[in-house]
Amino acid sequence: MIETLIVLVKIVCALVWFLLITLYLTWAERKESALMQDRIGANRANFFGIRIIGLFQPFADAIKMAFKEDFTPSFSRKFLHDLAPFLSFFFTGVTIATIPFGDILKIGGKEIKLQVLDINVGLLFVLAMLSFTIYGVLLSGWASNNRWTLIGGLRGAAQLISYEVALGLSLIGLVMVFPSLDFSAIVDFQGELLFGWLPKWGIFLQPLGFLIFLFATMAESERVPFDLPEGESEIVGFFTEYGGMKWGMYMFTDFMKVLIISCLLTTLFFGGYQVPWLYADGFRFPWGGEWLLPHGIVVLFQVLMFNIKVFFFCWLQILLRWTYPRFRYDQLMDFGWKLLIPLSLINIVATAIIMSIL
């Protein structure tokens, strides 16, 4: 009974964190783009006259979206048209279950792992779920029975195939260095030290793999400069015939992908919840000093560090989205097939050679 309750609490906490941060990413994008364009940004929504730099705006947007008219075109294939946004939303949302937010929390003799689902193929699970999101794009393009949405859906499929190859290859070098597909094990490996002082994070062992993974996952999220399936100024996008909450789910899924990508970058390449030189009993510095801490404070440090890293990568993705123009379609394909994939193969060979020498 207690074990079931613990699992339920972990699920609720993970979902609340995931959905709340995703909701506020919509506000962060509007504010960051406004600052870059010398505007104020969203700041009008208030609660009993209190604005607080527009922090209530995401809730106002959500309420407005929920009550907007749910229109389905008469010429569309209704069931599949309605199903498509839920597929993208669901398969993106379940990926948060395998991400470790911290190590082990000890309460009253109980050891609670700060991870909803700890499986030995967690990395494969996340990649598989993110791959399934393309069905929402393809179905919306086809079921809308609109030539422009169909073009958007086909572009999404071509883009996914192109960049998933590079994405998978970029992780092979990482798995060679950290011989596991379990997120917890990968984070534990990164808790060790190189040369007695440098954290053994993936970014230091696989710098090229990190760059390839970053660009490939950004292409998977289909945001500028990789937003060819949407292309508002060209084909309007695969969600042209959507409105109200169903359109909102597509938009929300985009921000969920931003958050998941940030979690993956943090977990795979930046030590996850690991804090440099922090161990189970506190800090032990390479130069000989130490700072012993209670168990609860250590766990708090780990959770805070995980969130700081994730927020940084969310900010970085939004910055890149508002900095670079969209690729042409031929440039998008060339970037994936002619640059990222060859670099991924070079990274695998180089990793194998270095490991055989060392």
Cβ–Cβ under 8 Å, residues 200 and 272:
no
**How many angstroms separate the CA atoms of 81 and 73, rounded?**
9
Helices (H), 241-294: 244-269
pTM of the model: 0.95
Name the DSSP class of 110: E
Q: Is 247 helix (H, G, I), strand (E, B) or coil?
A: helix
Phi, psi of 50 (to 5 degrees): -95, 125
249: tokens are 């789910």
Cβ–Cβ under 8 Å, residues 99 and 10:
no
**How many angstroms separate the CA atoms of 148 and 79, rounded?**
20
**How many angstroms separate the CA atoms of 55 and 276, rounded?**
33
Question: Which is nearest to 321 in space by CA: 38, 26, 24, 21?
Answer: 26
Q: CA gyration radius for the chain?
A: 22
Number of H helices, E strands in the chain: 13, 7
**How many angstroms separate the CA atoms of 112 and 186, rounded?**
19
Residue with tokens 């000093």: 289
Q: What is the pLDDT along the chain (358 residues), one digit of tens a residue?
A: 788 898 999 999 999 999 999 999 999 999 999 999 999 988 888 888 888 889 999 999 999 988 888 888 889 999 999 999 999 999 999 999 999 999 999 888 788 999 999 999 999 999 999 999 989 999 999 999 988 899 889 998 899 889 999 999 999 999 999 989 999 999 999 999 988 899 999 999 999 999 999 999 999 888 888 988 887 777 668 888 998 899 999 999 999 999 999 999 999 999 999 999 999 889 999 888 899 999 999 999 999 999 999 999 999 999 999 999 888 889 999 999 999 999 999 999 999 999 999 8
**How many angstroms separate the CA atoms of 232 and 228, rounded?**
9
Annotated domain spans of the chain: 73-357
